[in-house]
Amino acid sequence: MDRPDRSAIAAAWLDARWSMLSLRKRRDVDARQARLWRRMQPVIAATPAVAHLAGQPLDRFPIMEPHDLRAAFADWNTLALTRDQAETAARDAETGGAGLAAPGVAAGFSTGSSGKPGLFLNSGAERAAWLGHLLARLLPGRDLFKPLRIALCLRADNRLYQDAGRTGRIRFLFLALSEDTAARFDTLQDFRPDILIAPPHVLADLAHRTEATGQTWSLRRLFYGAEPMGEAERAWIGSVLGTRPDPLYQATEGFIAAPCRHGTLHLNEDVLIVEREPVPGTDRFVPIVTDLRRTSQPMIRVRLGDLLQPLKETCACGSPLTAIHPIEGRLEDLWRWPDVVIPPRDVEVAASAAVGAEIDWHATASPSGITVEAEAHAAGLAAYALRKLLADHGLTLLIRTLTEPPRHGIKRRRVRWSDV
């Protein structure tokens, strides 16, 4: 397998570090985005779906849903690849193969938190740009030149992550989410990662096992993504593992947001344009994302289903990049009745405060009531807290409790809405 282009990774790292230093005002961000958008025009001209719009302002382009991109895959890549070709390569990657859909171009599947998994392409240059940008955002500058052990827990491996382990100074460990949890704990203890990236339910399991065994960790940084995590659970996991978990926002459509040194999530608007579609009845929005660097599979005005809430105050780091709260869930997770909308974060805060940060639970609302799942007395405590939350909104609904371990899908989503 060919080695990643270290010079391209270094160039991307330098560009990202420079943008962190040079983007001081919002007008600086806008100017950089405009410059990168102009550079995107040859890529647009090579994309069948939007070639006729090359040279036009961004607002002339249609807003796309992820499932529309999947359905018209051949029209939304610049390499004349069919969906069957890309899916064959992605399946190869999932079974340990190179996963190449074309020379140097890898394919992969997203986790698929809602509906069919996404299908993505990335060239060697794009992987180098992603890795350089990621390292610049997640590590202090001095750490890039030190040997690093990075562990990543995800559903499946792919070429993006494999390249990270072949850069020379980085030892990289990939652990599948399907791996036995006790074996995963032992493997991580043996590996002793400097940096660990995992979904919240994996970090919660590690925290429980750490408390039970008295083991210790020597993490420099700890990151979570793919699932929501409440502030109470974040504080508990941080106290047990010895390092505060900071959020990442990565999707099939791009590397959307990264935390600053204070742990605040900022949109990566140095390489993305993120338009806001307001969510009625809330101060949230769903993002419409344009990635200004993707060339093999352009992402232009793609509407994501995630709920984003901007911070009201300016982040202490001083960055002009938009600061947001950690991702709380998806648009379809909103609890909604006539004249009442309750965001997932409000539900999470109420339930976790009642049952304790270390207790797992699940709550599904519908037009007629709410079902709470948690072990033993925790279900009753959560139900009591949610009954009060509803009362604060002038609602009285039936709350049913199931005293059993919560049932989650591929991703842990504690707060759900069902139309039936």
- Determine the number of helices (DSSP H) and then strands (DSSP E) in the chain: 12, 21
364: its two tokens: 């599904």
Band (pLDDT 50/70/90 cuts) for residue 70 is: confident
Residue 184 has pLDDT above 90, yes or no: yes
Cα gap 340→389, rounded to integer Å:
12
Q: Which pLDDT value is given to residue 166?
A: 55
Closest of 377, 346, 378 to residue 362, by C-alpha: 378
**What is the average per-residue pLDDT within 301-310?**
96
What DSSP designation does 64 have? B
Domain ranges of the chain: 6-127+250-324, 147-247, 334-417
Band (pLDDT 50/70/90 cuts) for residue 102 is: very high
Residue 75 has pLDDT above 70, yes or no: yes
For 42, 94, 227, 296, 299, the CA distances from 105, given in Å and listed in that order, are: 19, 15, 28, 8, 16
| CATH class as words, domain 334-417 | alpha beta
Residue 299 has pLDDT above 60, yes or no: yes
Half-sphere exposure of 354 (CA within 13 A, CB side): 22
* Residue 82 C-alpha from the chain's centroid: 27
Put simply, whether the predicted model's pTM sits higher than 0.75 gets the answer yes
Band (pLDDT 50/70/90 cuts) for residue 3 is: low
Cα gap 275→300, rounded to integer Å:
11
167 or 149, which is more confident: 149
Residue 2 has pLDDT above 80, yes or no: no
DSSP-derived secondary structure for 294-332:
--SS---SEE--B-B-B-SSPPTT---SPEEPPP--BGG
The sheet that has 100-102: what strands, in order across it?
100-102, 105-109, 119-122
Half-sphere exposure of 366 (CA within 13 A, CB side): 11
In b/e form, how buried is each residue of 345-362, taking b as 16+ CB within 10 angstroms? bbbbbbbbebbebebbbb
Q: What is the pLDDT of residues 232-287, one digit of tens each?
A: 999 999 999 999 999 999 888 889 999 999 999 999 999 999 999 999 999 999 99
Q: Which pLDDT value is given to residue 168?
A: 57
Closest of 319, 318, 232, 304 to residue 267, by C-alpha: 319
Residue 116 has pLDDT above 90, yes or no: no
For tokens 């999530």, what's the residue?
265
Band (pLDDT 50/70/90 cuts) for residue 7 is: confident
Architecture of the domain whose range is 147-247: 3-Layer(aba) Sandwich (3.40)
**What is the average per-residue pLDDT within 155-161?**
59
Q: Which pLDDT value is given to residue 8?
A: 86
412: its two tokens: 């842990």
